[in-house]
A and B are shown apart, each in its own frame.
Chain A
Amino acid sequence: MQRNSNTTCPYCGVGCGVTAQLEDDKVIAVSGDKKHPANFGRLCVKGTALAETLGDEGRLLYPQLQGRRVDWDQALGTLASRIRQAQAEHGPDSVAFYLSGQLLTEDYYVANKLVKGYLNTANVDTNSRLCMSSAVAAHKRAFGEDIVPCTYEDVEACELLVMVGSNAAWTHPVVYQRVEAAKRAGQRKRIVVIDPRRTASCDSADLHLQLRPGSDGHLFCGLLKFLADNGALDEGFIARHTEGWEAALEACAGLGISEVAAATGLAEEDLRRFYQWFTDTPRTVTMFSQGVKQSATGTDKCNAIINCHLATGRIGHPGAGPFSITGQPNAMGGREVGGLANQLAAHMDFTAEDVDRVQRFWGATGMASQPGMKAVELFDAAAEGRIKVLWIMATNPAVSLPDSARVRRALERCDFVVVSDCTAQTDTADFADLLLPAAPWGEKEGTVTNSERVISRQRQLVEAMGEARPDWWIVTELAHKLGLAEYFPYRSAADVFREHAALSGYENQGRRAFDISALAQLSDVDYAALAPRRWPLPAGGSRGELFSDGHFFTPSGRARIVRVEPELPTAQGKLLVNTGRLRDQWHTMTRTGRVPRLSQHRDFFSIALNPADAASAGFGEGDLVQLENPQGRVRGIANLDAGIAPGQSFVPIHWSGQFSAEARASGLIPALTDPHSGQPQSKFAGARLMPVTANCWGLLFSRRQYRPGELDYWSRIAVTGGYLTLLADGAASEAVYAELQAQLREAALDFATYEDSAKGDFREIGHREGRLEYALFLNPERAVLPERGWMSALGAESPEPGTVHNYLAGFSPDREDSGRLVCSCWEVGEAQIGRAIADGADSVETLGKALRCGTQCGSCIPELRELLARARDEQAA
Chain B
Amino acid sequence: MSGRLLIVGAGMAAAYLLQELAKRPHRLQVTVVGEEAEACYNRVLLSNVLSGENSETDLDMLATAPASDDGNVAAAPRIITGRRITHIDSKLGVATTDDGERLAYDALVFATGANVARPPVDCTGVGGVREFRTVADTRELRALEATGRSAVVVGGGLLGLEAAHGLNALGFHTRVLHRNPVIMNRQLDAEGGRQLQRDLEERGLHFKLGAQIAALDTDTEGHIRGIQLDDGSSLACDLLLFATGITPNIALAQASGLATERGILVDEHLRCSEPGIYALGECSQFGDTCFGLVAPIREQAAVLAAQLGGESPAPFRLQDYPTQLKISGVEIYRAGELDDASEQILVHGSGVYRRLVIRNDRLIGAVLVGDKRGGTWYSDLISQGRDISSIRSSLAFGREESASQSAAVAA
User: Whole-angstrom distance between the alpha carbons of A761 and B394 in the complex?
Assistant: 11
Write out the residue numbers on chain B whose beta carbons fall within 8 Å of the beta carbon of A808: 347, 396-397
Write out the residue numbers on chain A whose beta carbons fall within 8 Å of the beta carbon of B351: 801-802, 805
Contact call A767/B350, Cβ cutoff below 8 A? yes
For residue A759, CB closer than 8 A to chain B, the reply is yes
Contact call B392/A753, Cβ cutoff below 8 A? no
For residue A735, CB closer than 8 A to chain B, the reply is no
What per-residue 1/0 map shows which CB atoms of A809-833 lie under 8 Å from chain B?
A: 1110000000000000000000000
Give, as a whole number of angstroms, the nearest-CB distance from A759 to chain B. 7
Q: Which of B328-363 contact A (CB under 8 A)?
A: 343-352, 354, 358
Write out the residue numbers on chain B whose beta carbons fall within 8 Å of the beta carbon of A765: 350
For residue B57, CB closer than 8 A to chain A, the reply is no
With beta carbons under 8 angstroms apart, the residue of B344, B345, B349, B392 that contacts A805 is B349
User: Whole-angstrom distance between the alpha carbons of A759 and B358 in the complex?
Assistant: 11
Write out the residue numbers on chain B whose beta carbons fall within 8 Å of the beta carbon of A755: 345-346, 348
With beta carbons under 8 angstroms apart, the residue of A752, A779, A809 that contacts B350 is A752
Contact call A753/B345, Cβ cutoff below 8 A? no
> Closest B-chain residue to A801, C-beta based?
B351
> Closest A-chain residue to B356, C-beta based?
A756
Tell me whether A758 and B358 are in contact in the complex, defined as CB-CB below 8 angstroms, given that A802-B351, A805-B350 are known contacts.
Answer: yes
Tell me whether A805 and B346 are in contact in the complex, defined as CB-CB below 8 angstroms, given that A754-B396, A761-B393 are known contacts.
Answer: no
User: Whole-angstrom distance between the alpha carbons of A808 and B396 in the complex?
Assistant: 9
Give, as a whole number of angstroms, the nearest-CB distance from A758 to chain B. 5
For residue B156, CB closer than 8 A to chain A, the reply is no
User: Whole-angstrom distance between the alpha carbons of A117 and B99 in the complex?
Assistant: 125
User: Whole-angstrom distance between the alpha carbons of A792 and B323 in the complex?
Assistant: 39
With beta carbons under 8 angstroms apart, the residue of A761, A802, A809 that contacts B352 is A802
Give, as a whole number of angstroms, the nearest-CB distance from B313 to chain A. 41
Write out the residue numbers on chain A whose beta carbons fall within 8 Å of the beta carbon of B350: 750-752, 765, 767, 802, 804-805
Give, as a whole number of angstroms, the nearest-CB distance from B25 to chain A. 47
Give, as a whole number of angstroms, the nearest-CB distance from B79 to chain A. 44
Tell me whether A753 and B393 are in contact in the complex, defined as CB-CB below 8 angstroms, given that A758-B343, A802-B370, A805-B371 are known contacts.
Answer: no
Interface residues contributed by chain B, number (CB under 8 Å): 19
Give, as a whole number of angstroms, the nearest-CB distance from B365 to chain A. 15
> Closest A-chain residue to B397, C-beta based?
A809
What per-residue 1/0 map shows which CB atoms of B16-46 lie under 8 Å from chain A?
A: 0000000000000000000000000000000
Give, as a whole number of angstroms, the nearest-CB distance from A803 to chain B. 8
> Closest B-chain residue to A767, C-beta based?
B350
Write out the residue numbers on chain B whose beta carbons fall within 8 Å of the beta carbon of A805: 347, 349-352, 354, 371
Contact call B349/A809, Cβ cutoff below 8 A? no
Write out the residue numbers on chain B whose beta carbons fall within 8 Å of the beta carbon of A761: 345, 393
For residue A28, CB closer than 8 A to chain B, the reply is no
Contact call A784/B393, Cβ cutoff below 8 A? yes
User: Whole-angstrom distance between the alpha carbons of A363 and B188 in the complex?
Assistant: 89
> Closest B-chain residue to A803, C-beta based?
B371
What per-residue 1/0 map shows which CB atoms of B360-395 lie under 8 Å from chain A?
A: 000000000011000000000000000000001110
User: Whole-angstrom distance between the alpha carbons of A806 and B371 in the complex?
Assistant: 10
Overall SS of chain A's interface: mixed
User: Whole-angstrom distance between the alpha carbons of A804 and B394 in the complex?
Assistant: 15
Write out the residue numbers on chain A whose beta carbons fall within 8 Å of the beta carbon of B352: 752, 802, 804-805
Write out the residue numbers on chain A whose beta carbons fall within 8 Å of the beta carbon of B394: 809-811
Contact call A752/B397, Cβ cutoff below 8 A? no
User: Whole-angstrom distance between the alpha carbons of A756 and B389 in the complex?
Assistant: 12
User: Whole-angstrom distance between the alpha carbons of A810 and B395 in the complex?
Assistant: 12
Contact call B397/A753, Cβ cutoff below 8 A? no
Give, as a whole number of angstroms, the nearest-CB distance from A726 to chain B. 18
User: Whole-angstrom distance between the alpha carbons of A270 and B131 in the complex?
Assistant: 99
User: Whole-angstrom distance between the alpha carbons of A252 and B358 in the complex?
Assistant: 75
Give, as a whole number of angstroms, the nearest-CB distance from B294 to chain A. 27
Tell me whether A754 and B392 are in contact in the complex, defined as CB-CB below 8 angstroms, given that A802-B351, A806-B397, A808-B397 are known contacts.
Answer: no
Give, as a whole number of angstroms, the nearest-CB distance from A269 to chain B. 54
User: Whole-angstrom distance between the alpha carbons of A810 and B393 in the complex?
Assistant: 9
> Closest B-chain residue to A811, C-beta based?
B394
Write out the residue numbers on chain B whose beta carbons fall within 8 Å of the beta carbon of A809: 394, 396-397
Q: Which of A742-790 contact B (CB under 8 A)?
A: 750-759, 761, 765, 767, 779, 784
User: Whole-angstrom distance between the alpha carbons of A795 and B393 in the complex?
Assistant: 23
> Closest A-chain residue to B394, C-beta based?
A809
Contact call A752/B393, Cβ cutoff below 8 A? no
Write out the residue numbers on chain A whose beta carbons fall within 8 Å of the beta carbon of B358: 758
Write out the residue numbers on chain A whose beta carbons fall within 8 Å of the beta carbon of B397: 806, 808-809
User: Whole-angstrom distance between the alpha carbons of A147 and B105 in the complex?
Assistant: 119
User: Whole-angstrom distance between the alpha carbons of A805 and B371 in the complex?
Assistant: 9
User: Whole-angstrom distance between the alpha carbons of A471 and B302 in the complex?
Assistant: 89
Give, as a whole number of angstroms, the nearest-CB distance from B168 to chain A. 20
Contact call A753/B346, Cβ cutoff below 8 A? yes
User: Whole-angstrom distance between the alpha carbons of A765 and B352 in the complex?
Assistant: 12
User: Whole-angstrom distance between the alpha carbons of A60 and B392 in the complex?
Assistant: 47
Give, as a whole number of angstroms, the nearest-CB distance from B400 to chain A. 9
> Closest B-chain residue to A786, C-beta based?
B393
Write out the residue numbers on chain A whose beta carbons fall within 8 Å of the beta carbon of B393: 756, 759, 761, 779, 784, 810
Write out the residue numbers on chain A whose beta carbons fall within 8 Å of the beta carbon of B354: 805
What per-residue 1/0 map shows which CB atoms of A575-610 lie under 8 Å from chain B?
A: 000000000000000000000000000000000000
Give, as a whole number of angstroms, the nearest-CB distance from B395 to chain A. 9
Give, as a whole number of angstroms, the nearest-CB distance from B371 to chain A. 7
Write out the residue numbers on chain B whose beta carbons fall within 8 Å of the beta carbon of A756: 344-346, 392-393
> Closest B-chain residue to A756, C-beta based?
B345
Residue from B350, B358, B371, B394 with most neighbouring chain A CB atoms (10 Å): B350
User: Whole-angstrom distance between the alpha carbons of A379 and B396 in the complex?
Assistant: 56
Contact call A759/B392, Cβ cutoff below 8 A? yes
Write out the residue numbers on chain B whose beta carbons fall within 8 Å of the beta carbon of A758: 343-344, 358
Contact call A750/B349, Cβ cutoff below 8 A? yes
Tell me whether A753 and B371 are in contact in the complex, defined as CB-CB below 8 angstroms, given that A808-B397, A809-B394, A809-B397 are known contacts.
Answer: no
Write out the residue numbers on chain B whose beta carbons fall within 8 Å of the beta carbon of A767: 350
Give, as a whole number of angstroms, the nearest-CB distance from A545 to chain B. 67
User: Whole-angstrom distance between the alpha carbons of A755 and B350 in the complex?
Assistant: 15
> Closest A-chain residue to B342, C-beta based?
A758
Q: Which of B266-296 contact A (CB under 8 A)?
A: none
Contact call A752/B348, Cβ cutoff below 8 A? yes
Residue from A756, A804, A811 with most neighbouring chain B CB atoms (10 Å): A756
User: Whole-angstrom distance between the alpha carbons of A750 and B351 in the complex?
Assistant: 10
> Closest A-chain residue to B345, C-beta based?
A756
Give, as a whole number of angstroms, the nearest-CB distance from B20 to chain A. 39
Give, as a whole number of angstroms, the nearest-CB distance from B204 to chain A. 17
Write out the residue numbers on chain A whose beta carbons fall within 8 Å of the beta carbon of B344: 756-758
Tell me whether A752 and B349 are in contact in the complex, defined as CB-CB below 8 angstroms, given that A758-B343, A808-B397, A809-B397 are known contacts.
Answer: yes
Q: Which of A433-477 contact B (CB under 8 A)?
A: none
Given contacts A755-B346, A804-B352, A805-B349, 19 further A-B contacts (CB under 8 A): A751-B350, A752-B352, A753-B346, A753-B348, A754-B396, A756-B392, A757-B343, A758-B343, A761-B345, A784-B393, A802-B370, A804-B350, A805-B347, A805-B350, A805-B351, A805-B352, A808-B397, A809-B394, A809-B396
**Which 10 pairs across A and B sit closest by C-beta, in order of nearness?**
A809-B397, A752-B350, A752-B349, A805-B352, A756-B345, A804-B350, A751-B349, A755-B346, A758-B343, A754-B347
Residues of B within 8 A of A (CB): 343-352, 354, 358, 370-371, 392-394, 396-397
Task: Report 18 cross-chain contacts, Cβ distance below 8 Å, ordered by A residue.
Answer: A752-B352, A753-B347, A754-B347, A755-B345, A756-B345, A756-B346, A757-B344, A759-B392, A767-B350, A779-B393, A802-B370, A802-B371, A805-B349, A808-B347, A808-B397, A809-B396, A810-B393, A811-B394
